[in-house]
């Protein structure tokens, strides 16, 4: 008897963090199975997925979700599309914050299901809460069942299982029956899927199906199929099949994605071997990536640079975390600084080392897309004296404009206040007219495109800035010369604060020093002196306040 066929179904939409998590999840299933993979993703995720003829992509465009549950219930749409595309007999639905740790064959799926049609792993608790099956059953009665089918009865406690839908294994016909039932229920239920401030998500529908509607079809899979640190001790435990880095409804965290990658044990991200296409004439574009203790992110940054015709230069500011050990792609030029020269000086040194027509200064925690590259180059071909910058979105999906309004005296004052314990006053200043200067703009240089000739003509980055404010200063110089900073109609993921591993207190000191320097160089000594005095007073205030709190805590400890 031949082995049954199986397919994998995944969904990744919304926050950029899902893109990197999905990359790790897909890589693990490509490595350990020969199954076809049906991936539903949006345009924010798709450019960062691995390429394989086994990955079938369903590219969707989701409007801004009206209800929080929408992006979770989109899993049903992904499963429906998967079933429409595949003739596989078994479907394994896996959340993208999970990785497969060893080879898996369809025969093992059949054995896990036994004589049942669908299976999930029971979530036995929530770490640190003391929750039990009885607590989960009470929540099931009050929320899941009460919302989805209030006329149905809950099982007795000894029959109830709080199944986690991060991994669902089912025969295709059973999955179709479940989806038909779920679709029918959703048609008659409130669209917000809320029950007493409790969000009804995909897991609730799977719970009701498995515990009330068709319990005779469902089996409890062994823990190895969905091993999660939120309820399993000693995570990750030897012997696990799938390691699940669930963050409940909040999406994958940066550290979780790093841990997912470490479990794959395939070497650092960025290790895919491929040679640059070498040509005699200068490259049209050189990516210049300045690193300092950037080992966590540099591999992902390099992986996103898919066009091998472009030159890639990594200049490292004497990292101590093995950053350059993660730069393994062939064709990358590495420049090693013997000390940390700062961003501006390192960027200028790398720019001097290339003869490329155009430059892109790229943060190691920013991910490029081919579409953004082509759009930027097209703009620079028409406007060679301009700078081009995209917009950005952070790990949690929060947007930031790449083209920023001019940095005013008022903004300098407010930002220094905000950094040093006076956020309320800073907010008041930000409401005043003249806070943003519309007469000029500066590029947030996580991904800054510029022609090499223009970059040299304006004097490059001002290396009097160690780090921070050099992009403001170069925007100031562009405006002084009557040159434009152009906003690119593309959005790139920028996982700020991960590009250089510097403590937050150190960042605050560096950026305050850079702001004071900008004030002195561009707004005169009088303003700079006033801001320096204000900064000193604020630091003294914080020091006195901190000392008072420490004495108070010591006094309370002696009581």
Buried b vs exposed e over 376-395: b needs ≥16 C-beta within 10 Å?
Answer: bbebbeeeebbbbbbbbbbb
Q: Which of 124-138, 259-273, 287-301 has the lowest mean pLDDT?
A: 259-273
The more confidently predicted of residues 544 and 353 is 353
Task: Tell me what pLDDT residue 401 has.
Answer: 95
Domains 6-264 and 285-409+433-502 alike in fold? yes
Contact 367, 492 (CB under 8 A): yes
The more confidently predicted of residues 360 and 418 is 360
Q: Shortest CA distance to 358 belongs to which of 329, 332, 387? A: 387
d(C-alpha 160, C-alpha 183), whole Å:
24
Supply the pTM of this predicted model: 0.83
Task: Tell me what pLDDT residue 47 has.
Answer: 87
pLDDT class of 278 with cuts at 50, 70, 90? very low
Q: Which of 264-273, 367-376, 478-487, 496-505 has the lowest mean pLDDT?
A: 264-273
Q: What are the distances in angstroms from CA 282 to CA 356, 381, 382, 459, 506?
A: 5, 15, 19, 22, 39
d(C-alpha 198, C-alpha 139), whole Å:
10
pLDDT class of 555 with cuts at 50, 70, 90? low
pLDDT class of 277 with cuts at 50, 70, 90? very low
d(C-alpha 351, C-alpha 503), whole Å:
28
- pLDDT, tens digit (0-9, with 9 covering 90-100), for 441-460: 999 999 999 999 999 999 99
Look at domain 6-264 and name its CATH class: alpha beta
Q: What's the average model confidence in pLDDT over 369-379? A: 95
Cα angle for residues 123, 129, 133 (degrees, 5° grid): 40
Q: Shortest CA distance to 284 belongs to which of 461, 488, 452, 485? A: 452
Residue 478: CB atoms within 10 A of its CB come to 22
Q: What are the distances in angstroms from CA 147 to CA 68, 185, 217, 237?
A: 16, 10, 22, 36
- Sequence-separated (6 or more) residues with CB below 8 Å from residue 27: 50, 264, 266
Q: How far is CA 238 from the centre of its chain?
A: 28
Residue with tokens 């999905």: 22
Q: What are the distances in angstroms from CA 143 to CA 160, 165, 231, 282, 514?
A: 15, 17, 21, 64, 53
Q: Shortest CA distance to 490 belongs to which of 393, 420, 361? A: 393
Strands (E), 410-526: 436-443, 447-451, 485-493
For the domain spanning 285-409+433-502, the CATH number is: 3.90.550.10
Q: Which of 123-137, 144-158, 312-326, 544-558 has the lowest mean pLDDT?
A: 544-558
- Sequence-separated (6 or more) residues with CB below 8 Å from residue 13: 40, 41, 42, 44, 45, 60, 62, 71, 74
Q: What ranges do the domains of the chain cover?
A: 6-264, 285-409+433-502
Burial, 409: exposed, middle or buried (Cβ in 10 Å; 0-12, 13-18, 19+)? Answer: middle
Q: Which of 98-112, 325-339, 347-361 has the lowest mean pLDDT?
A: 325-339
- pLDDT, tens digit (0-9, with 9 covering 90-100), for 221-263: 999 999 998 888 888 899 999 999 987 667 788 888 888 988 8
Contact 364, 302 (CB under 8 A): no
Q: Which of 103-112, 298-307, 449-458, 479-488 has the lowest mean pLDDT?
A: 298-307
């Amino acid at each position: 008897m031949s082995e049954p066929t199986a397919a994998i179904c995944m969904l990744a939409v919304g926050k950029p963090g899902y893109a990197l998590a999905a990359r790790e999840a897909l890589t693990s299933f490509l490595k350990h199975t020969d199954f076809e993979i049906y991936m539903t993703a949006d345009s924010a995720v798709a450019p960062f997925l691995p390429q394989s003829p086994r990955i079938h992509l369903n590219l969707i465009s989701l409007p801004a979700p009206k209800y929080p549950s929408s992006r979770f219930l989109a899993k049903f749409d992904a499963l429906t599309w998967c079933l429409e595309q595949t003739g596989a007999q078994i479907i394994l639905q896996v959340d993208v914050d999970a990785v497969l740790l060893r080879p898996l064959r369809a025969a093992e799926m059949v054995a896990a299901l036994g004589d049942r049609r669908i299976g999930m792993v029971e979530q036995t608790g929530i770490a640190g809460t003391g929750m039990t099956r009885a607590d989960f059953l009470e929540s099931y009665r009050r929320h899941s069942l009460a919302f989805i089918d209030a006329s149905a009865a809950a099982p007795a406690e000894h029959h109830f299982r709080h199944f986690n839908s991060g991994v669902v294994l089912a025969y295709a016909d059973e999955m179709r029956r479940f989806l038909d039932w779920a679709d029918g229920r959703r048609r008659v239920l409130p669209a917000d899927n809320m029950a007493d401030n409790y969000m009804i998500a995909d897991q609730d529908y799977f719970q009701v199906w498995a515990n009330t509607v068709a319990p005779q079809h469902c089996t409890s899979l062994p823990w190895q199929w969905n091993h999660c640190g939120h309820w399993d001790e000693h995570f990750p435990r030897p012997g696990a099949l799938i390691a699940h880095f669930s963050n409940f409804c909040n999406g994958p965290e940066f550290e979780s994605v790093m841990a997912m990658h470490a479990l794959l044990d395939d070497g650092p991200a960025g290790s895919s071997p491929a040679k640059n296409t070498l040509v005699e004439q200068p490259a049209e574009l050189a990516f210049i990536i300045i690193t300092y203790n950037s080992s966590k992110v540099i591999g992902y940054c390099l992986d996103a640079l898919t066009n091998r015709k472009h030159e890639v230069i990594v200049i490292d500011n004497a990292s101590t975390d093995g950053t350059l050990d993660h730069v393994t792609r062939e064709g990358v030029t590495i420049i090693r600084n013997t000390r940390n020269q700062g961003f501006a000086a390192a960027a200028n040194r790398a720019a001097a080392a290339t003869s490329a027509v155009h430059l892109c200064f790229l943060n190691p925690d920013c991910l490029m897309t081919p579409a953004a590259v082509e759009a930027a180059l097209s703009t620079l071909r028409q406007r060679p004296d301009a700078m081009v910058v995209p917009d950005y979105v952070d790990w949690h999906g929060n947007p930031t404009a790449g083209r920023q309004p001019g940095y005013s005296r008022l903004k300098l004052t407010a930002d220094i206040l905000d950094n040093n314990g006076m956020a309320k006053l800073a907010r008041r200043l930000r409401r005043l007219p003249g806070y943003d200067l519309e007469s000029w703009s500066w590029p947030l240089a996580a991904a800054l495109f510029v022609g090499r000739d223009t970059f040299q003509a304006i004097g490059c980055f001002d290396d009097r800035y160690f780090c921070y404010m050099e992009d403001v200063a170069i925007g100031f110089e562009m405006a002084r010369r009557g040159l434009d900073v152009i906003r690119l109609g593309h959005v790139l993921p920028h996982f700020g604060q991960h590009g250089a591993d510097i403590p937050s207190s150190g960042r605050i000191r560096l950026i305050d020093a850079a702001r004071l320097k900008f004030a002195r160089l561009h707004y005169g000594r009088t303003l700079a002196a006033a801001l320096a005095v204000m900064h000193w007073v604020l630091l003294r205030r914080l020091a006195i306040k901190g000392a008072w709190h420490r004495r108070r805590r010591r006094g309370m400890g002696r009581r």
